[in-house]
Structures are given as C-alpha cells and as structure tokens.
Amino acid sequence: MPTRRPAPGKLLYAQSGGVTAVINASAAGVIEAARARGVQVYAARNGILGALREELIDTSKESKAAITALRHTPGGAFGSCRYKLKSLEANRAEYARLIEVLRAHDIRWFLYNGGNDSADTALKLSRLGKAMGYDLRCIGVPKTVDNDLAVTDCCPGFGSVAKYTAVSTLEASLDVASMADTSTKVFILEVMGRHAGWIAAAAGLAGEGADAPPHLILFPENVFDEAAFLAKVKATVERVGWCTVVASEGIRNAAGQFLADAGTRDAFGHVQLGGVAPTLAALVKGRLGYKVHWALPDYLQRSARHLASKVDAEQAYAVGRAAVDYALAGMNAVMPAIVRTSDAPYRWKIEPAPLAKIANHEKKLPRSFIRRDGFGITAAARRYLSPLIRGEAPPPNGKDGLPAYVRLQNVAVAKKLPAFTP
C-alpha cells in the first residue's frame, strides 16, 4: 500500500455488536498504525451511540504499553452497542447529528469494527458524507464470532470461539464418557449461531469417526427433524454408551419456527432465543428416558481469551492496521477482507472489499460442509476450519494466577455541542 502524508483531521474508531476475544487486537492495530502515521485517534464510547451522544475518548492519553496490551485483552475496551441506524428517510435527524459531531471534532476517517449491521452503518455513513458535502472516509473492520460476513474467507473472532467450542466439546465428552455407566447418558452443548452453523461445525473438530464426539451436530441450515434426532441419539447411546450433541441456537422446525423462540426481540429487531439446549434435553429425557445434562456457554465462548487462536489474534490485528492504511489512502466504503491463498500450509492475505457486497449479506455454511446424514461435518469443512484454530496466544500472567488484562483510562474529549438523545 503506497503511503502519503495524511491530510489534517482525526480518525474515529468504534466497536459494535457482541464483542469477541480478539476485537481489542483490531483496536490495537488501528491505534498503532494511526500513531505511526501521525494521526490522532478518538474512540466512540459504546459504538455508534457514542458518536451520536458526542461521547468520545482520546486514545492519545493511553500509553504505548496499554495499547499493546489490548492485543491480549478480551471484551470491548471502549464499549460496544447493538444499535442499527434506520434509513436516511426514516431518521434524518440522527444522520445530521453524526455529521455535526464529526465536523465539530474535525473527524475525517471513521472505522467501524463489527459484523453485518456495522458494515451497513459504515456504508450508510459513507454515502451520507457525500450527500452532505462532508469529506469523510468510512471503513468497515470485520468482526463476528458467527463467521457470517460475505466476501471475507473468515471473520476475526470466529477462530477463537471455534477453538473454544472444539476444546470444550472434547473435554466435556471425556467427562461424560467417564460417568456414563451410572450417570449422564446424553450431554447437549448449545452454541451461538442464529442462521449460520459455523460455530456448531467447529465442534466437529473435536473428533473423527462415528463413535467420536460430537455424535450429533444440529445446524440451523437444516430443518430439525425430531424423529431422526431421537433415533440418532438412541442408536448412539446403545452403541457407544453415551452421546454428545452440539446444537446451534438457531435450529428451526419444519414450520420455520425457532425451537427456542423466547417471544421477544433485541435492539436490531432479531428474535431473541431462549435456549435450545434445555428444550432438547427435555425432549430426550421425556421420550427416551436418558439422564441428560446441558450447557450454555453464552458469553464464555466469545470472551475466552485464555484459549484464543493465534491465527485469529493475528488476523484481528492485521485487519485493524489495514483499515487505517485504506482510510489514509483515500479509500471509502471498503472493508479489509481476509483472503485464503493456501490450505496446506495455511496462508492468507488482506485485500479491500466493497461494503456494498458485505452489508446485509449473510454467509451460511455451505452444503458441502455438512455430512450427508445432516449430523456432522465433511472433510471439506475440516480442511477449512482446522487452520483457523491453530496456535496459542496466551495472555501474560498477572498476580494471583489471573491473566494480566488491561483497563484503559478512556479519557473523555470535551464536548462542543448540545446534548442529543438517540
């Protein structure tokens, strides 16, 4: 990427949606790359809401060591949010406010670190700048444990949750196998994945062969067949003595209804799911009579920095740095995408991709990755998934046996505008 002397102005970085074990590595990449180019970085407190409320953080107040430590610290260092901007026609006031805040602080580059909805926000804001005559460059920075962003080969955050899922499936299965003679016969692990079964598929890395766990994987790409599910569980217990099931939270019945629809919606308008594991556990116990245990890792699976994939951490940092390069080179409405160039040995590179091809698109698990019987992964899936969980990147040890994670000062930038309520 050719370098040029950046124009006057500041860069605004924000985090969005559910955080990951490595999203702060992207933040470190952004801040370190911008500092090297002489650009001041502000961060929005709690994502796009911070920009609307003019709640900005001056990252120049943080030491070099603190920013470096973000590379091994989970969570969202500047706060995140679930807030989707409506269309310009539906809510012109919010868009006008964003430009007003950016103009007041001479912000010329906006980097939004998130998933599908965040890509949509960055795309809308890039178009808004042009429409309102404000020179603004918007770059999406990929992040989502769901691995469902289009164009990019994989999404930062996914490799680590995939590693956590595969390891947890293996370890819990060893526990169940030890006690199956007199105790639990069926263990059900529920993982994230509303429409795309990437995380569920990652559990398949725990073992190979008909008798190796997980014995059943339930993908949201497949219609849940109760009779086939129960028959498979029963046959596995009779053959192996126990059974491990990994279920995506988004599995649906033939009518298209989520098995775990809680009857409410989140801030993005998505159906909130109430727990598919206990639903399946009740079904197995009631119909087959087996003792069942289930687990819902929830936030644990996306925050487990102690078990992060080294590949994932490196990719998260790389897309942050690339986003700054793209912004300062004058690019707009693009995202640094990860391009796989080789499976064995695993190699990858970063290339810009247009946000228009990413926003509001969803990449589901290919049919070629799901075994013919619908309950496991194929060799093709294993070739794709295996490199993404490789390597360890443990955080440094702190006191009392706990990791040494960093907490930033997050010094606020003085406000210049009247208060605004989104």
Positions marked active-site: 146
The tokens describing 69, both together, are: 């430590």
The tokens describing 384, both together, are: 């794709």
> 3-state SS of 200-211?
HHHHHHHCCCCC
- Beta bridge partners, 403, equal 397
Q: Which of 86, 260, 241 is nearest to 173 (CA)?
A: 241
Q: Which of 301, 284, 281, 283 is nearest to 293 (CA)?
A: 281
**Beta carbons within 10 angstroms of residue 241's beta carbon:** 13
| Residues 176 and 207 sit within 8 Å (Cβ to Cβ) | no
Q: Which of 385, 341, 389 is nearest to 365 (CA)?
A: 385
| Residues 338 and 348 sit within 8 Å (Cβ to Cβ) | yes
Q: How far apart are the first and last CA of the chain?
A: 38
Distance CA(167)–CA(155), nearest Å, equals: 20
Return the residue matching tokens 């909130």: 272
Q: Which of 62, 129, 80, 65 is nearest to 100 (CA)?
A: 129
The residues near 213 (Cβ < 8 Å, ≥ 6 apart) are 169, 170, 173, 206, 207, 244
The residues near 244 (Cβ < 8 Å, ≥ 6 apart) are 169, 172, 173, 176, 186, 187, 188, 189, 213, 214, 215, 216
